[in-house]
Structure 1
Amino acid sequence: MNGTSRPGRRPARAAAPCPCGLPAAYDECCGRFHAGQAAPSAEALMRSRYAAFAVEDEAYLLRTWHPSTRPARVDFERGLRWTGLEIEEVSGGSPFHTTGTVTFRAAYTHRGQPGEQREQSRFTRHEGAWVYLDAVVTA
C-alpha cells in the first residue's frame, strides 16, 4: 500500500465507521491507535495501518514501521481509495508472542477502477510495541 505524501485526513466525524471493517466507529476502533494508544496485537496493528492508509495518516504509518525497514516518507497514490479489508489468516501476533503474520486482502478503487492487493505482512515487537516489519505480496 503506497503512492504523493499529504497530511493525514481523518473521517469527518468521530462516529464515522472505521475503515478497517470492524463494526465500530473510527474513534473507538483504529482512531484510538492513531491517537497514540498501542495496538495490542499484530492483527489490530494491521487493521489500524490499513485504516491509516485509508485516512492518509503518514505519521502513524511511519511510527508503526520497524526502523530497519521504515522509508523516509509514505507516498499516497492520487486517485486511490481503499474500500475494504478482509483478514484471511493470522499466525502469532498475540500479547504472548514477539512476532506474527497477517495475511489479508485489501480492496480499492483507482481512478474508478476496482482492484485488490493481497499480502502477507510480518510484524514484530520493537521497544515493547507491535510494529510492521515487511511483507510479501501474494497472488
Structure 2
Amino acid sequence: MKPALAMTNLASASRTQRSTLIRNTATICSLQHQLQRNRAIFNAHTSLRTFSAHSSLLNQKQKDSELPKFSFEGLGMSKNSRIFVIVVLSIFGTIETWVWCKGIYRWWYGPSEEEKKRIEASHK
C-alpha cells in the first residue's frame, strides 16, 4: 500500500505543479503584455517629444532666416543717415515728453491764473 500512496501523492503533486505552472505562465504573459504596452506608450511619448522639439528648432531657424536684422547696417543706412535718424527721433521724443509733462501738470493742478483770465475774457 505504501507504493500506491506514493503514486497518488506524486500524481496530485504533478497536477498541482502543472496548474501552478499554467497560472504562473498566464501571469508572466500578462505582465509581459503590460510591459510591452507600457514601452509602446513611453516610446510614443518620447518620439512625440523629440519630434516636437526638433520641429520647433526647425521653425525657429526658419523664422530667424525670414526676418531681416534690425540694425542700421541691416537696413543699408550710411553713417550720416544714421546720425540724422537718431537726431530726428531724439527731437520728437523730447517734444513728446514736454507735451506729456505739460498735460499731466495741467490735469493735476488745473489751469493757471492767466488761462482762467483768458477764458473769462473770451466768454464776455
TM-score by length of 1: 0.15
More contact order relative to length (CA 8 Å, sep ≥ 6): 1
* Structure with the bigger percentage of strand: 1
Structure whose alpha-carbon radius of gyration is higher:
2
* Structure with the bigger percentage of helix: 2
